Amino acid sequence: MKAERTEAVHSEPVWRDRANFIIAAQLPEEGRSEQLWARQAGDQRFEVCCIPFFLYDVALGDVVETDADYDMVRVIAPAGRCVFRVWLGESLRPREEIAQELRDLGALLEWSSANLLAADAADELHAQVIADFLAEQEGSGHLIFETGRS
């Protein structure tokens, strides 16, 4: 019997207008997966159209391969973009203020919950700008962040 899956859901994917399919990606925790909005590029090939909340080594724009059940198997063409996860649970600074500063720096954003924000940087150079801002905010006690790379 297959275990019931608990999925992390993207309610507002940043490239919703490009997406025409939803695939799944298994998370390390037993029975957990993340749904990914995607654009079908072939029978089992898809471009990721959302910023992963929990997956590592997958980013917006990556082309991925799935199995016959549309579960992601691997990244076959990285887009060169970078993912950051931002936890705002203990922040006294308004969440929308931090989000707006990230937008002003050119980041694309998706909210997973009131406390968890996923941010996308277009490339390594842009990622450094975002990382510098996040490190400054983390140093001031406003947030905790990590990159989406293992």
The predicted model scores a pTM of 0.93
Report the topology of domain 82-147.
Alpha-Beta Plaits (3.30.70)
Locate the domains of the chain by residue range: 6-77, 82-147
Residue 123: its pLDDT value, please? 98
CA–CA distances in Å: residue 71 to residues 24, 38, 108 = 5, 12, 25
The C-alpha torsion from 2 through 68 and 65 to 112, rounded to 10°, is -40
CA distance 11 to 63: 21
Q: CA-to-CA distance for 118 and 134, rounded, in angstroms?
A: 12
Q: Could you list the pLDDT tens digit for every one of the 150 residues in the chain?
A: 344 556 899 999 999 999 999 999 999 888 899 999 999 999 999 999 999 999 999 999 999 999 999 999 999 999 999 999 999 998 888 999 999 999 999 999 999 999 999 999 999 999 999 999 999 999 999 999 999 998
Tell me the three-class secondary structure of 75-143, residue by residue: EEECCCCEEEEEECCCCCCCHHHHHHHHHHCCCEEEECCCCEEEEEECCHHHHHHHHHHHHHHHHCCCC
Phi, psi for residue 44 in degrees, rounded to 5? -125, 20
